[in-house]
């Protein structure tokens, strides 16, 4: 394995790690936003009527 190959592997791995950190932070942020909302009481009641109104 030549020096250039090692450099490419190290840089590629570093880029993947940095992208994974950004993705993990974004997922945690979105999860916190979702959990901060109020529960939707009664959201699943009257499914037939809701579907009918959605189609009109």
Q: Is residue 6 part of a domain?
A: yes
Q: Is residue 49 part of a domain?
A: no
Q: Is residue 13 part of a domain?
A: yes
The predicted pLDDT at position 39 comes to 85
**Radius of gyration of the CA atoms of the chain, in A:** 23
Q: What is the residue-level pLDDT of the chain in tens, covering all 56 positions?
A: 899 999 999 999 999 999 999 999 999 999 999 999 888 888 889 989 988 998 87
Range of the domain at 7: 1-35
Number of structural domains the chain divides into: 1
End-to-end CA gap in the chain: 66
d(CA 16, CA 9): 11
pTM greater than 0.75 (yes/no): no
Residues near 28 by Cβ (< 8 Å), separated by ≥ 6? none
């Amino acid at each position: 394995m030549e020096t250039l190959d090692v450099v490419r592997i190290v840089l590629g791995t570093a880029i993947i790690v940095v992208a994974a950190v950004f993705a993990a932070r974004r997922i945690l942020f979105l999860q916190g936003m979702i959990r901060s909302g109020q529960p939707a009481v009664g959201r699943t009641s009257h499914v037939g009527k809701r579907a009918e109104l959605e189609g009109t």
